[in-house]
């Protein structure tokens, strides 16, 4: 009897400590990011489900701020644009944005990140960020940064949550999520309502507004090898200073409707995927002075248009594995259609003939990986792109990448050599249909030392871009001289039982030979995830300095959350010190060359909010 009792006691004692720690271990090891991340694809930063649960991010804006070599910024329409430069067109391929491995893009030149970057993202399970040009995948065109967000899965949720958030300036957001199922069949639904009241400004008695109202729906259904993803978003954004000869906007706005339907079949190493994306963007601009000049009408102070964009993609990929060799083949075909309707100038319909409305693209990708032994890996990738633009110039592009990876569980060394092209968007071709592709070349390496509690890494990259597309006095042209970028980033991650510390300083040297200027940008990201008694906390400090523009700022974010049975309450503070880096905006009168400037605009204004969620 004694023996049995002792056995039972010892069992229960050991089990108690074991099972709890095992569940903890499993939640880290079996995090969905471990299934989706592609270490061969380049230099990756992951925000896991556990990180995001503690961060309680309000939008992707908070993630963009933490990516080395990028500064969160917004353009003159208050749309997300980390590469914003006055009077330059945004190139949506610089940052590619994926939802469950589906690239979100609209063909004419709209940038989905601009539309969704400031909206709620409670449907996200984890985020993967692939940094630098070499971090490209087979088939898609090159990109400076790839942001991949993955939605929650019903079989990982098994609950319904209703949540509401209230903040300063009347910010309020409501969400509902529901997901149930098992590994063979599951669903996940999300409804979100964003009412983002932003810090508005007044300039020369004109009100400069940036408020956002949006509604989102996401549905994800999995059944055996099939998965359907539906995402819809519609909203209205006040367009801040918009366009004009002077900063004198009269309530300009952008209304958007974006829709994605993706169907995927996956079995073993075969993946077939088809998606349909369409967007309707209504743009309205009115200025008290002058917006622009049109040879047919003259000067005008009101402009509106309706842009329709559609894209249908079909992709098939297969991986072949022979002993230590892996061959990955992918084919993607894409049909794009876009047109502008109801364009009005000074409230009168105008019929501007745009260059083309259709585009067809075929992309062939191949990737070969050889594992020499357990430690050495060589990866060679090639992508061939053929783009047929209706009634105008066609493009052909080749992208190459060679990578070498060494991994001995203590040290990881990655090195990549990359060559590829950035193609002009249809919007750019409407300005100049003789534009050449921008040619890029990059090399980089990263060394990572793994220890018991995390890792320390050093990343160095060199990027060269020729034929950069930019507006000059001669219109939109390819710049003759090249741009060079050198970057260095050190990252230290310490993972303790429930706590985590990240320290990530970086520096970017840019040499814009065409403009005969150089610039240095510095940044430090510090994050601390800490559990104090029953409170989960997340605090983050992001420092940024742009030497040439003489702009620097520091952003302190803080999240504290606590769970009571089925309720969770949290406090969220963004830019608490109100010292984050600001942006100066200006509009130029081309007749007088006079600049109308508004300085020190907070693109990341202070937010103090309280959220409550109820699980049932």
Partner 1 sequence: MRVLRYLLILIIATIIYAGDVNKIKAEIIENISMLYIKKHPIYIFIKSNYFNKTKKYLQKNYYFYIVNNCNKADICFVDSYPKNIKGKIIFLTSYLSYLKNKNAAGAFFWQKGRPTIIFNKQFIINHHIKIPKEYEDFVE
Query: Which residues contact partner 1 (rule: CB under 8 A)?
Result: 3-4, 6-8, 10-20, 22-23, 25-27, 29-30, 34, 49-50, 53, 125, 152, 155-159, 161, 180-184, 615
Q: How far apart are CA 478 and CA 437, in angstroms?
A: 8
Kindly tell me which of 20 and 251 has the beta carbon lying closer to partner 1: 20
Residue 106 has φ and ψ, to the nearest 5°, of: -115, 140
Q: Alpha-carbon torsion 155, 230, 31, 533, what sign?
A: negative
Quick one: 246 exposed, middle or buried, by C-beta within 10 A (0-12, 13-18, 19+)?
Answer: buried
Report yes or no: 528 and 504 within 8 Å, Cβ to Cβ: no
Reported as type and span, the H/E element at residue 160 is: strand 159-167
Compute the least distance from the CB of residue 60 to partner 1, in Å: 19
Compute the least distance from the CB of residue 609 to partner 1, in Å: 21
Report yes or no: 483 and 470 within 8 Å, Cβ to Cβ: no
Instruction: Report CA-CA distances (Å) from 413 to 20, 40, 42, 504.
Output: 34, 11, 11, 18
Kindly tell me which of 13 and 400 has the beta carbon lying closer to partner 1: 13
Kindly tell me which of 533 and 550 has the beta carbon lying closer to partner 1: 533
Q: Is 152 left (phi over 0), alpha (psi -120 to 50) or beta?
A: beta
Kindly tell me which of 313 and 613 has the beta carbon lying closer to partner 1: 613
Kindly tell me which of 20 and 269 has the beta carbon lying closer to partner 1: 20
Compute the least distance from the CB of residue 374 to partner 1, in Å: 15
Compute the least distance from the CB of residue 213 to partner 1, in Å: 29
Compute the least distance from the CB of residue 568 to partner 1, in Å: 10
Kindly tell me which of 159 and 325 has the beta carbon lying closer to partner 1: 159
Q: Is 148 left (phi over 0), alpha (psi -120 to 50) or beta?
A: beta
Q: What is the chain's Cα-based Rg?
A: 25
Compute the least distance from the CB of residue 500 to partner 1, in Å: 16
Report yes or no: 33 and 150 within 8 Å, Cβ to Cβ: yes
In 3-state terms, what secondary structure has residue 606?
coil
Compute the least distance from the CB of residue 369 to partner 1, in Å: 22
Report yes or no: 320 and 305 within 8 Å, Cβ to Cβ: no
Kindly tell me which of 269 and 594 has the beta carbon lying closer to partner 1: 269
Q: How far apart are CA 77 and CA 137, in angstroms?
A: 31
Kindly tell me which of 50 and 346 has the beta carbon lying closer to partner 1: 50
Compute the least distance from the CB of residue 194 to partner 1, in Å: 22
Report yes or no: 409 and 398 within 8 Å, Cβ to Cβ: no
Quick one: three-class SS letters along 168-205? HHHCEEEEEEEEEECCCEEEEEEEEEEEECCCCEEECC
Compute the least distance from the CB of residue 396 to partner 1, in Å: 43
In 3-state terms, what secondary structure has residue 76?
coil
Compute the least distance from the CB of residue 227 to partner 1, in Å: 15
CA triple 251-255-261, angle to 5 deg: 170
**The two three-digit tokens of residue 353, written as one number:** 């003939």
Reported as type and span, the H/E element at residue 156 is: helix 154-157
Compute the least distance from the CB of residue 448 to partner 1, in Å: 18
> Nearest CA to 463 among 445, 495, 441?
441
Kindly tell me which of 19 and 380 has the beta carbon lying closer to partner 1: 19
Reported as type and span, the H/E element at residue 275 is: strand 270-286
Reported as type and span, the H/E element at residue 15 is: helix 2-29
Report yes or no: 539 and 556 within 8 Å, Cβ to Cβ: yes
Kindly tell me which of 88 and 495 has the beta carbon lying closer to partner 1: 495
Kindly tell me which of 11 and 320 has the beta carbon lying closer to partner 1: 11
Kindly tell me which of 152 and 466 has the beta carbon lying closer to partner 1: 152
Compute the least distance from the CB of residue 10 to partner 1, in Å: 6
């Amino acid at each position: 009897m004694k023996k049995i009792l002792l056995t039972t006691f010892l069992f229960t004692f050991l089990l108690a400590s074991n099972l709890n720690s095992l569940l903890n271990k499993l939640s880290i090891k079996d995090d969905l990011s471990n299934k989706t991340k592609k270490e061969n694809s380049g230099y990756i930063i992951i925000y896991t489900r556990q990180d995001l649960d503690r961060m309680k991010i309000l939008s992707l804006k908070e993630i963009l701020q933490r990516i080395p070599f990028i500064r969160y910024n917004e353009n003159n329409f208050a749309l997300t644009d980390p590469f914003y430069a006055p009077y330059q067109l945004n190139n949506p391929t610089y940052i590619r944005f994926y939802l469950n491995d589906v690239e979100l893009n609209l063909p004419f030149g709209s940038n989905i990140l601009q539309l969704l970057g400031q909206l709620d993202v409670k449907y996200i399970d984890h985020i993967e960020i692939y940094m630098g040009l070499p971090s490209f995948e087979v088939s898609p065109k090159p990109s400076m940064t790839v942001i991949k967000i993955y939605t929650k899965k019903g079989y990982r949720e098994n609950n319904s949550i209703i949540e509401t958030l209230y903040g300063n300036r009347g910010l309020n957001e409501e969400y509902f999520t529901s997901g149930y199922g098992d590994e063979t069949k599951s669903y996940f639904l999300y409804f979100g309502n964003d009412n983002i009241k932003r810090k508005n400004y007044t300039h020369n008695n004109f009100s400069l507004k940036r408020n956002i109202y949006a509604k989102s729906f996401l549905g994800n259904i999995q059944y055996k090898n099939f998965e359907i993803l539906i995402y819809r978003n519609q909203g209205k954004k006040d367009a801040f200073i918009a366009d004009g000869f002077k900063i004198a906007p009269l309530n300009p706005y952008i209304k958007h409707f974006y829709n994605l339907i993706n169907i995927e079949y996956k079995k073993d190493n075969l993946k077939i995927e088809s998606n349909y994306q369409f967007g309707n963007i209504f743009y309205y601009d009115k200025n008290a002075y002058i917006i622009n000049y049109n040879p047919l009408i003259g000067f005008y102070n009101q402009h509106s248009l309706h842009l329709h964009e559609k894209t249908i993609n079909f992709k098939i990929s297969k991986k072949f594995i022979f002993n230590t060799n892996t061959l990955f083949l992918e084919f993607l075909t894409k049909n794009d259609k876009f047109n502008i309707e109801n364009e009005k100038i000074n409230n009168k319909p105008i019929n501007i003939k745009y260059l083309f409305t259709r585009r067809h693209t075929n992309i062939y990708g191949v990737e070969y990986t050889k594992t020499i032994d357990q430690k050495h890996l060589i990866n060679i990738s090639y992508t061939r792109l053929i783009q047929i633009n209706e009634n105008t110039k066609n493009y052909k592009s080749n992208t190459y990448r060679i990578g070498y990876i060494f991994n001995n569980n203590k040290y990881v060394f990655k090195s990549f050599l990359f060559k590829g092209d950035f193609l002009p968007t249809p919007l750019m071709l409407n300005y100049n249909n003789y534009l050449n592709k921008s040619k890029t070349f990059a090399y980089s390496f990263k060394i990572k030392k793994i220890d018991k509690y995390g890792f320390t890494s050093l990343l160095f990259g060199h990027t060269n871009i020729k034929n950069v597309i930019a507006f000059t006095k001669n219109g939109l042209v390819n710049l003759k001289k090249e741009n060079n970028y050198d970057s260095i980033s050190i990252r230290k991650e310490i993972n303790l039982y429930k706590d985590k510390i990240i320290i990530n300083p970086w520096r970017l040297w840019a040499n814009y030979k065409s403009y005969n200027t150089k610039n240095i940008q510095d940044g430090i990201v510090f994050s601390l995830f800490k559990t104090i008694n029953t409170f989960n906390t997340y605090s983050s400090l992001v420092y940024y300095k742009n030497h040439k523009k003489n702009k620097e700022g520091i952003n302190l974010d803080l999240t504290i959350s606590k769970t009571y049975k089925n309720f969770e309450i949290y406090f969220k503070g963004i830019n608490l010190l109100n010292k984050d880096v600001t942006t100066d905006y200006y509009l130029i009168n081309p007749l007088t060359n006079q600049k109308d400037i508004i300085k020190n605009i907070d693109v990341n204004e202070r937010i103090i909010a309280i959220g409550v969620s109820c699980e049932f």
